[in-house]
Each structure stands twice: as structure tokens, then as C-alpha cells.
Homo-oligomer: A and B are copies of this chain.
Amino acid sequence: MESAVNGSWQAFADWCATIRDLTSVANLLGWDRETALRPAGADERARQAGLVSALIHRELTRPGAGECLERLRGADLPPPRARAVELAVRDRDRALRLPEDVVRGLTEARSRSVSAWLAARPANDYAAFREPFREVVARSREVAGLLSDGGEPYDALLHDYEPGATAAALEPLFTDLRARLAPIVAERAGRPAHRLPGPRLEGAPLLELTRVVARRIGYDTDRGSLAFTSHPFTSTLGIDDVRFSTRPSARDPLEAVLIAMHEAGHALYEQGLPREHTGTPVHDAPSLGAHESQSRFWENHVGRTPEFWRGIMPALRDAVGPAADGLTPDDAVRAANAVAPSLIRVDADEATYNLHIALRFDLELRLFRGLVDVDDLPEAWNEQMAELIGVRPGTDADGVMQDVHWPEGLFGYFPTYTLGSVYAAQLAEAADATLGGLRERIARGDFPAVLEFMRDRVHRHGSLLPTAQLMERATGVPLSADALVRHLHAGASLA
């Protein structure tokens, strides 16, 4: 009996490792597309990526796997193994519920919608985008229906990015944030924001600065590599191959450093996942919100502090040379913490940013509850921008069409950004208490202690716990806007 379970476990581990390796291959196809592929190769690459996705789906839904999983669910496994099986059953169940033609239909609709958006956004032509977008919404609703058991359809979409999260749990959080962040932003309306005068960074010095910043906080450059892409991202191509990118051009050293901190935060998490669970679903973050807690912790709670900027100056001068002349830590910190109402999410300061997310969450929820129609989305957007942030987009290009997420059908994704911010603030307070002062550690350059705190409280647990439980254990408090609001008030005083 014992050995039958061992045999099943080995078969399970092999099956998981195959899925994991195929996922790494899929990630490489994506990484290379962004870093090296010429546009002429895009169609073939899409077909190759589609093939690998289909192989992953085929492996996940393979008939034999079901029996093996059932045998392991009935066995008395140690908790990490039981959790691995539970996560695998969850992923397999999801894959089994979605017929291949539904998946293909959604994928194709997304592709058409992104193409329409790419053309419609520069032309500010929502009408040209509307019908392909309507189809993405309709097909996403179909998928949500297949995945949810009669519950809130939006919860099924959330699940892809933030397992365990529900609209019911998120609504009070966002209501609270709207009420408490809007005044911080409103107070600043009309005042000029601090901004660094440059210099713009590119090429080798920018890459070197990115590398120096990432290494400083503990990113292992022997287990990954760096590149330029138009949208910075982090990708795991293997347990010892965690890469991240930065933009080919940064408008000033502050932007360069914050992008590096953000992506290195993601990469540190991946590099810190529990090696003993390599290949199983436990060797992963439990959600995007958990992942974003790490990028935002390093970006916002370390990278925007005076202590960090005073420490980084010599390395910054080494990396970029005379480009750093005239830049003082005080200038950088004031610019890093400036608050100003803005139309565009990706350009927004921390406070305004979360109002942008609140708006998207509200509209997504209304869209999938049938309370707002695709036709009325631009006006609903503009009204809420005016109400929440105090600015009204002059065009849909600067309004409802500003992000690629909706054209891509990534509904339920936006809330994970704010969950990341909230968890990051809670983790920062916990680190501050545990380490005898987070900013004192930063001032001493004791990044190993800060990283060790994250390794211990977050990284090494992989997906052993759902995000909410993991974070409550790590921070000692349940999910709440309090820490983030305190952090933003403190930041405003630095600007």
C-alpha cells in the first residue's frame, strides 16, 4: 500500500514536472518574443505558442492523471504533498471544464480585439474597437459561466489571477480605499508635482544601473538575465533562470531605479520559492496579488525612501557616470513621493494609482453583473474619473482605451495590483516591527535582513497556503486598507 502511494506520488511528480517544463518553454517563447523576435515572425510565434498551450492543456486533462490524483487524494499524505495534489486537482478541474473550442474561441476573439485596439487607440475611435471588444466580453462571460457553479460569474474570472478572492470580499476594501485615497489626491490637485529634469538613460548604462540595483537587494545575477522590452516584466524560464526586463529608455534615474526595484521584487520572489517543492504546484506564488506584494514592497517601501536614495548614490554614479551629476537624494525622494491627479494609470503616483484600479474594478464588476453595457463604458469611465480623481479624459484613448488588459480579456486582473499594494504595506509594517525599524535597516544597507524577512514570511511558503492566510500569518493582521493609507500619508509628507 505504502509503495503504491509512493508509485502514484512519483507518477504525479513526473506529470507535474512535464507541465512545469512545458510552462517554462511557453515562458521562453513569450520572453523571446518581447526581447528578440522581429515583427515578421509574430504570426508563427503565435502558432508555436498556441501549440505549446495545447500541449499543456492536453497534459493537464490527460485521462490517466485523474485516477492517480484520486488515489493520492485518498492517501494519507504529508501536508505539503496533500496541498500539491489539491492545487493540481484545482487546475485540472478548470481545464476539464473548458472545452477546447471555447478556449480557442476566446483566444481568437482576444487576438482580434487586441488588433482592433492597436488601430483604434491612436485614432481615438472607440466605435472601431467596440464590436471585437463586445465579443471578448461575451466569450469571457461564457467562460465564467462554465467555471462558476451558479455563483457570481466575476469570481470565476478573479480566480485565474487571485484564487480565493471574491467580489464580495473586495468590494468593502475598494469602498474604503476610494473614501480614504480620494482626499489625498484631491488635496494635491492644482499644485505642481516635483519631477526630475532627467537625464534620460538608455543602452548599456541603463542596463548596468538596473543590474546594480537588483543585485543590491539580493537578485542573483547568476540565476537569470536582463534585457530591454517595451513593457518591463519578469519571467521564469526555469528554477535557476529567472529573468526580468526594463524599458529601453528611462526618462530619469528615478524611473530606471523604480522599474528595477519593482521587477527585481518579482524576481526575488521567484528565486526564493521552496526548492524542495520544485516542479509541483506548491513551487509557485499562490496568486498575482501575493506576487505584486513583493514588487511593490521593494519599489514603494524601499525604493522611495530617503535612506535608500542616500545609499544608492555612489553606485548610481558608478553606473551612469556624469548623467548623475546634479541629482540629489532629496530631489529623487520628493519626485518619488509626489502626488498629482492623472489620467493615465501607468504614469500615476501610488495614491492615484489605486484609485485607477478602484475604477476598473467597479466597471468590471458592473460589466459582468450586466449593470453596464459595452456601449456605455466610455461615459461610465469618464464620469467616474471626474468623481474619483477629479480629471475628465478628453478622449477615449486617454480613457477607457488606455490599457491593453481589457482588449486582451484580462478581466479580474486589475484588482491584484491593489491587493499587492495593500499586502506590501502590511508587510512593510510587519518588517518594520520585526527588524527593529525597516528604514534603519535600509540606511545601514542591510538588505540581506530585509530579504530574509520576505524569504521567511512569504517566499519559502510557495503556495502551501492561500494568499489571504499566508499574508495574515506573515503580517499578523487581516486584509485592510489601513497600512496602505498610513504609508501614503507618510509618503505625501516626503514630497
Question: Which residue of B is nearest A237, CB measured?
Answer: B41
Residues of B within 8 A of A222 (CB): 38-40
Contact across chains for B44 and A239 when beta carbons are under 8 A apart: yes
B25 and A52 contacting across the interface, CB-CB below 8 Å: yes
Chain B: minimal CB distance from A52 (Å): 7
Residue of A18, A29, A227, A241 with most partner-chain B CB within 10 A: A241
Contact partners of A47 in chain B: CB under 8 A: 21
**A48 on interface, CB distance cutoff 8 Å:** yes
Contacts of A39 in B (CB 8 A): 222
Interface residues of A in 186-229 (CB under 8 A from B): 221-225, 227
Among A41, A43, A48, max chain B CB count under 10 A is at A41
Residues of B within 8 Å of A223, CB to CB, are 38, 40-41
From the candidates B22, B37, B45, B238, name the one contacting A51 in the complex (CB within 8 A): B22
CB under 8 Å from chain B, chain A span 325-345: none
> Please, what's the 1-or-0 string for A17-53, where 1 marks a CB less than 8 Å from any CB in chain B?
0100110110011001000111111011101100110
| Interface flag for A456 (CB, 8 Å) | no
Tell me which residues across on chain B come within 8 A of A25, comparing CB atoms.
Answer: 25, 29, 48, 51-52
A2-22, CB < 8 A from B: 18, 21-22
- Residue A119 at the chain B interface, CB threshold 8 Å: no
* CB nearest to A220 among chain B residues: B40
In the complex, what residue of chain B is closest to A26 when comparing beta carbons?
B25
Is A240 among interface residues, defined by CB-CB distance under 8 A?
yes
For the complex formed, measure the closest distance between the CB of A166 and the CB atoms of chain B, giving whole angstroms.
Answer: 36
Q: Flag whether A477 is at the interface (Cβ < 8 A).
A: no
Residue of B nearest to A40 (CB): B240
Kindly state whether residue A55 has any CB partner on chain B within 8 Å. Answer: yes
A29 to B32, CA, bound (A): 10
Instruction: List the B side residues contacting A32 at CB < 8 Å.
Output: 28, 32, 237
How far is B225's CA from A237's CA once the two chains are assembled, in angstroms?
A: 21
A225 to B35 Cα, complex, angstroms: 11
CB of A116 to closest CB in B, whole Å: 23
Q: Could you tell me the dominant secondary structure of chain A's interface residues?
A: helix
The interface bits of chain A over 135-148 (1 if a CB of B lies within 8 angstroms of the residue's CB, else 0) are 00000000000000
Q: How far is the CA of A43 from the CA of B239 in the complex (A)?
A: 10
Q: In the complex where A36-B225, A38-B223 touch, is A51 in contact with B21 (Cβ < 8 A)?
A: yes
Complex Cα spacing A48 to B41, Å: 23
Inter-chain contact A240/B22, CB cutoff 8 Å: no
Whether B22 lies near A241 (C-beta < 8 A) is no
Contact A238 B41 (CB under 8 A): yes
Minimum Cβ distance to chain B for residue A345 (Å) = 31
Complex Cα distance A227/B32, Å?
Answer: 13
> In the bound complex, do residue A18 and residue B238 qualify as a contact, i.e. CB atoms below 8 Å apart?
no
A489 to B55, CA, bound (A): 56
| Chain B nearest CB, measured from A376 CB (Å) | 41
CA distance A47 to B278 in the complex (A): 14
Contact: A24 with B48, CB < 8 Å?
A: yes
Residues of B within 8 A of A45 (CB): 238, 241
Chain B residue with Cβ nearest A35: B36
- Closest B residue to A241 by beta carbon equals B41
Q: Please state if A240 and B21 are interface contacts (CB–CB under 8 Å).
A: no
Cβ B40 vs Cβ A241 within 8 A:
yes
**How far apart sit A28 and B41, CA to CA, in the bound complex (Å)?**
13
In the assembled complex, how far is the CB of residue A4 from the closest CB belonging to chain B, in whole angstroms? 25
Alpha-carbon distance A273/B237, docked complex (angstroms): 32
User: CA of A222 to CA of B38 in the docked complex: distance in angstroms?
Assistant: 6
A241 touches B51 (CB 8 A): no
How distant is A34 from chain B, measured CB to nearest CB, in Å?
Answer: 12
Q: How far is the CA of A24 from the CA of B224 in the complex (A)?
A: 23
* Contact of A48 with B18 in the complex, beta carbons under 8 Å: no
Shortest 9 CB-CB contacts between residues of A and residues of B: A41-B241, A44-B238, A40-B240, A41-B240, A40-B223, A41-B238, A21-B48, A21-B51, A40-B222
Binding site for B on A (CB under 8 A): 18, 21-22, 24-25, 28-29, 32, 36-41, 43-45, 47-48, 51-52, 55, 221-225, 227, 237-241, 243
The contact sample of 7 A-B pairs, CB cut-off 8 A, is A21-B51, A22-B51, A28-B28, A37-B225, A38-B225, A41-B241, A44-B240
Could you list 8 further interchain pairs (A-B, Cβ under 8 angstroms) beyond the known A24-B48, A25-B52, A38-B241? Answer: A25-B25, A36-B225, A37-B225, A40-B222, A44-B240, A45-B238, A45-B241, A48-B238
